[in-house]
A = this chain, B = another copy of it.
Amino acid sequence: MTVRVPTSGSPSGTEGARPDDARRHNRSAVLRRLHRAGPCTRAVLAAELGLNRSTIKAVVDGLAESGLVSERLPSKRSGAGRPSLLVLPNPQAAVVLAVDIRVDRVSMAVVGLGGEILGRLSWRLKVGVEKPRDVLTRVLESAPMLASELGSLVVGAGVSVPGVVRRPDGLVREAPHLHWVDVPLGEQLAAGLRVPVAVANDAELGALAEHTRGIARDANDLLFVECDFGVGGGVISGGSALRGAGGYLGELGHMVVRPEGLECHCGLRGCWETEVGGPALCRALGLPADTARGELLASLRELDADPVEALGRLGEFAGWLSLGLINVVNLLAPELVVLGDPLGALPGPVLDTVVQRVAERSMVSRAIGHTGVVRSSLGRDAQLVGAAELAFDPVLDVAAGQNP
């Protein structure tokens, strides 16, 4: 089947319900469950979604007729008796393109229904001099190559950008470390790829990725902190991603924590980013500000084996990191804070210090009992995984709504 995604939004919660809403809702719920959590039996679907078995049968049969799922015997038998069929998402039934634009690198992947990365490629950028047009051209050239190998039609694309993005049309309002201002990336990519394109902030996608497929799957309230050069945050609250007005939520890097501190590119002084951003981390390690990520991570790994040296070099850094995290925990009350790369690669003793300070000094962490501060489990792939989920979101609704 070909899945077509309309450009208009979905109905809001204030509207009335129409007759076939329930049927579409159930198809979408089953498809989302399979896409996010993987294959399972009809019985598990019925139990998890609170639907009776005949409804599940009708929904699964419909999705199978559409080619979106199939059923097969499990490869391992469990227990005696006839094994139950597993319902599986068909990866090739809906394929999306994920693009992760960073300050020093672009990564692309084709991701199938169910979340499997079916193909990928990446290339380096010259930091701060790469024009949006050049990145756009290369993405557009690479996309058909990636997709054609699979013989699959791409039905949507998601893009991660290290900057402030206007969500409705994917305008990159400001990506300071790329030196991009008002780049209509979403529109240009959509015109070139001829599929719906969603663009979002890298930290927001990190949060989405860790929430759907990473370490924060069980957390309803979480904060993902991204510090690839600049510092940003992605927030899931009550199970939903927060966007804020125009989609601009999460600029934690521009929280002033040291009014007499360094000047920041945003015009303020003493922003958190000036103390814990990529260049600040390099500074603390005695490396040049433009050190390649690989080298920075290697340097952090080395310190892992030497607690005294690690705390000596990164003690002050850990102090500012803790202070900002305490602020954000007091504001947002996450149950879990996930540190993206390179913060996620901080040496053990340094991370332990941060964890302990947040636990002891944040009023809200004390009230909750404990706010966890953990390393990202998806690492460098977090944004790519998040961009794919962003692209899948409308696809899952539409696919579920279409008749076989």
Residues of A within 8 A of B (CB): 11-19, 21-22, 25-26, 29, 32-33, 48-51, 55, 164, 166, 173-174, 220-221, 233, 237-240, 242-252, 254-259, 266-268, 323, 326-328, 330-335, 361-364, 367-369, 371
Please give me the residue from chain B that is nearest to A49 by CB atom.
Answer: B16
Residues in B with CB closer than 8 Å to A323 are: 256, 259
A174 and B249 contacting across the interface, CB-CB below 8 Å: no
A244 and B49 contacting across the interface, CB-CB below 8 Å: no
B367 and A15 contacting across the interface, CB-CB below 8 Å: no
User: A12 to nearest B CB, angstroms?
Assistant: 8
Residues in B with CB closer than 8 Å to A244 are: 221, 237, 332-334, 364
Please give me the residue from chain B that is nearest to A255 by CB atom.
Answer: B327
A-B contact pairs, 15 of them (CB 8 A): A16-B49, A221-B245, A237-B244, A238-B240, A244-B364, A245-B371, A246-B335, A247-B333, A248-B333, A248-B368, A249-B333, A250-B331, A251-B364, A255-B327, A255-B330
Known: A15-B49, A323-B259. A330 touches B29 (CB 8 A): no
User: A42 to nearest B CB, angstroms?
Assistant: 13
- A248 vs B362: C-alpha distance when bound (angstroms): 12
B252 and A334 contacting across the interface, CB-CB below 8 Å: no
A240, A244, A327, A332 pick with most chain B CB within 10 angstroms? A244
A13, A16, A249, A362 pick with most chain B CB within 10 angstroms? A16
- A332 vs B55: C-alpha distance when bound (angstroms): 41
Known: A17-B22, A244-B237, A245-B334. A258 touches B259 (CB 8 A): yes
A368 and B246 contacting across the interface, CB-CB below 8 Å: yes
- A303 vs B248: C-alpha distance when bound (angstroms): 36
Please give me the residue from chain B that is nearest to A242 by CB atom.
Answer: B237
- A266 vs B21: C-alpha distance when bound (angstroms): 49
- A204 vs B399: C-alpha distance when bound (angstroms): 38
User: A115 to nearest B CB, angstroms?
Assistant: 17
B251 and A330 contacting across the interface, CB-CB below 8 Å: yes
- A239 vs B12: C-alpha distance when bound (angstroms): 10
Please give me the residue from chain B that is nearest to A16 by CB atom.
Answer: B51
CB-contact partner of A331 in B12, B49, B251, B326, under 8 A: B251
Residues in B with CB closer than 8 Å to A166 are: 367
B331 and A367 contacting across the interface, CB-CB below 8 Å: no
- A26 vs B21: C-alpha distance when bound (angstroms): 13
Please give me the residue from chain B that is nearest to A19 by CB atom.
Answer: B22
Residues in B with CB closer than 8 Å to A371 are: 245
- Given A174-B367, A252-B331, output 16 extra A-B contacts at Cβ < 8 Å: A16-B26, A21-B22, A164-B364, A173-B367, A237-B242, A240-B240, A245-B335, A245-B368, A251-B330, A251-B331, A251-B363, A252-B330, A255-B255, A255-B330, A256-B327, A327-B327
User: A191 to nearest B CB, angstroms?
Assistant: 24
- A173 vs B25: C-alpha distance when bound (angstroms): 39
User: A181 to nearest B CB, angstroms?
Assistant: 10
Known: A255-B327, A330-B254. A242 touches B242 (CB 8 A): yes
B50 and A11 contacting across the interface, CB-CB below 8 Å: yes
- A221 vs B257: C-alpha distance when bound (angstroms): 24
- A254 vs B19: C-alpha distance when bound (angstroms): 49
CB-contact partner of A266 in B32, B247, B363, under 8 A: B363
Residues in B with CB closer than 8 Å to A362 are: 254
- A283 vs B240: C-alpha distance when bound (angstroms): 41
A15, A32, A51 pick with most chain B CB within 10 angstroms? A15
Residues in B with CB closer than 8 Å to A368 are: 245-246, 248
Please give me the residue from chain B that is nearest to A363 by CB atom.
Answer: B266
